[in-house]
Structure 1
Amino acid sequence: MGKIINSTNFEQEVNDGVVVVDFFATWCGPCKMLAPIFEQLSVEMKDDAKFVKVDIDKSLEIARKYMISSVPTMMIFKDGKPVDTMVGFMQKESIKSKVESHI
């Protein structure tokens, strides 16, 4: 499972380079379907992007700040700023292509 971050380390984790944040919930079915794909991409793209996860139930303030209204939502950050958002379950190649467009 990817590294789970929270409000204490969120800003530090997303402030450098391309970072993909998976906003998820433990009770979310599509989130569970996305998890192995997210994990595969984190290994395949480790030299180009960092992949981290935020449990919205444990980090509500971050979810509110970035207006996460449904899960899964993946947000791509570049040098600390959000540059792209993907909502819902997506196929691996679609996610990879979106991430590559910001590298």
Structure 2
Amino acid sequence: MVNVISNNDLSEAKKEKLALLDFSATWCGPCSMLAPVLKELSEELAGEVAVYSIDVDQNPQLAIEYQIMNIPALVLLKDGEKAGMTVGFQPKESLKKFIEEHR
């Protein structure tokens, strides 16, 4: 399941051992392509990594805090701290590798 962040509130995500933050927007084509990949990934890795969707237009403070310049941008949090970041559409296998590299 992909959790939706609102009100610039990352408190739940920061409690997770491993959280993948998807910074995106409704008007972004590559973001729309990435959404079903992340949904699939969240189901496959349930219990291992929590996936969160963050609309940059609705959560501008988070986009600034994490220095998001391009979307889609994926930020991996490990125990609430930024452990890695990747930008642009990627297939599921690449995202799995990204998560494994930063565990």
* TM norm structure 1: 0.92
**2:89 paired with 1:68:** no
- Of stretches 59-68 and 2-11 in structure 1, the one that deviates more from structure 2 is 2-11
Gaps of 5+ in 2: none
Taking only the aligned residue pairs, the percentage that are identical comes to 35
Deviation, structure 1 residue 27: 0.2
Specify the alignment match of 1:42 in structure 2: 42
Question: How far apart are residue 3 of structure 1 and its match?
Answer: 1.4
Count, aligned residues: 103
1:68 Cα deviation (Å)? 0.3
Runs of 4+ in 1 over 3 A off after TM superposition: none
Aligned to 1:100: 100
Q: For residues 60 and 94 of structure 1, what CA distance do their matches in structure 2 show? A: 27
Task: Give the C-alpha shift of residue 8 in structure 1.
Answer: 5.0
Q: Secondary structure at the match of 1:31?
A: helix
Aligned to 1:13: 13
Question: Does the Cα contact within 8 Å between 1:15 and 1:78 map onto a contact in 2?
Answer: no
Give the SS at the match of 2:11. helix
Structure 1 unaligned spans of 5+? none
Q: Deviations over 1:20-43 (max 9, x none)?
A: 000000000000000000000000
Say if 2:8 and 2:60, in contact at 8 Å, map to a contact too: no
Counterpart of 2:71 in structure 1: which amino acid? V
CA distance in 2, matches of 1:8, 1:31: 19
Q: Which AA in structure 2 matches 1:13? A: A
